[in-house]
Structure 1
Amino acid sequence: MRISVYVPATSANLGPGFDCMGIALDLWNELHVERSEQTIIDIDGVGADFLPRDESNLVLQSMRLVYDRFQLPVPPIHLRMINRIPIAAGLGSSAAALVGGLLLANNLLDSPLSRAQVLRLAVLDEGHPDNVAPAFLGGAVLAYLHEDGVTHVNLPLRDNFTFIAVTPDFPLLTETARNVLEPTVTRADAVFNIAHAGFLTAALTTGNTELLRKALHDRLHQDARKHLIPGFDRVRQAAKATGAIGIVLSGAGPTLLAIVDHPPRATDIAAAMTAAFAQEGITATARILTPAQIGAYTHTKMVIKQ
């Protein structure tokens, strides 16, 4: 039997929704697993030249979270990873590996965990739901972790928004980006973000472009992190001058995410953003993406060995 799991990329925070909002995007990693006489890990696509193929592999570690819960060892498997999500780029590659590994393990064990339990396990391991919730559920998600589980809601996105993810050619670890944040914030900044996160929710669900333009501002993380990305302001100005509604840091970065309400403009905006990075001497890759309306899903196929 071959179990396959497909997990979308995600963009966390969306400006003011720090650590509690995110969106799934139509860029997918695939995981395929079969039982084997010994553990073999094959990797195609992004990371094929440097991701580990041993016990330290993140998908295998994520599978172990489920097996450990039932005090069982992970059996020997043949795992094939097909990666399209860039790594250490702010597009949820680690969340995809975590969610994918949990779903693989749960299916190998005949699904002893409910979907709610799998999601809670993912959020507990990640520490916050902004990536794993949309990776698991799809669409735009507002979520938070509490002692009884994960409370979440899918926002009914209007279909007039397109997203442009521009990834500069250097990694930025989430730990590095989190370490530059202040441990406390002022009341004024907290109120500012609460208000703008509310505006953001309203704008995404009503399709109100002008409200969205105002709602993307943030005071909790972006200003502290933007110095880690050379050309941040130049790229943001280029995107807005070419017609983007706004631009935010995707997760912890370094990917910058522009939002467009007129899809034909997307190609020009993507070109302007990559050109702005080039002025800083940085190569960048642009991806024009629509929201992924579904989250991670599983497919099982019987395999007849010859």
Structure 2
Amino acid sequence: MKLNNYEIKGIIKVALLFFAFLIGFSSLWFTNNLVKKLASQERDKIATWANATRQIASSDGDNDINFIYEIIQGNTTIPVILTDEKGEVIGSRNLDSTYNIVTDRKIEKKIEDMKAQNEPIEVLLEDGKKNIIYYENSLLLSQLKVYPYFQLGVIGLFLVMSYFAFSYSRTSEQNKVWAGMSKETAHQLGTPISSLMGWVDYLKESENNVPQKVLDEIDHDMQRLSLITERFSKIGSEPTLVSYNLYDVLEESVTYINNRTSIKVDISLKNEELFKKVSVNVNKPLFAWVV
């Protein structure tokens, strides 16, 4: 079965939409897997950091303190807060410089946020006490979580803009085609209409006993055809506005319609005096078309 252009365009649109969803799903799946791996690695780093902290707290001088300090100092990306079992802040790392762990009440809110984001890690000390490590995702991990949605948003915005651009281009092209066809129609109608008007003039001047009323009505219809031709020729062009009395323009259309409708139908203008006082800038052929 042969498909027409509209069916082919529909299939192409569905295919493009399918591939767009496939790209979006693949991006989300890949990024989510990457985020999970990074989150696992960060928790392992914090666990190592916690173990180093425990060894520092219980060190008797036999351990390699410098190596342990290097482990602790090696964390340069993950925000960490260390508290005792009573919740008193002992230390912190990679926090914003606006935090003051001694006097700032915001530190308590920060601890609650960290607790909600990641499960705290308890560090058991040799004296039976324990410290608690709170931490949150690094800036890189937080950005990676948001990145796929930002990427999809940009892709979606690009697709929407492309769709409207192509739609506008297609509509503009169609309008140009219709305007060209209208002008060509007006041009083709011009020749027979001119010929018919000549024949009407011939009938008026000849002695063929054609009633004058018939000739007048034929003449009115020819003028109407000329008006229609002029309307078609103006499609796609900037209309020229001329000042007319509103009553004269409306009365001309009403008179033409009344002469060609049933005698049971009467079309008339109300508030004629008001219309006679109004002048408007219109394109008469196009305005009469609307009326």
* Fold shared, TM-score > 0.5 on shorter chain: no
Higher relative contact order (CA 8 A, sep 6+): 1
More strand by share: 1
Superposition TM-score, scaled by structure 2 size: 0.20
Superposition TM-score, scaled by structure 1 size: 0.19
More helix by share: 2
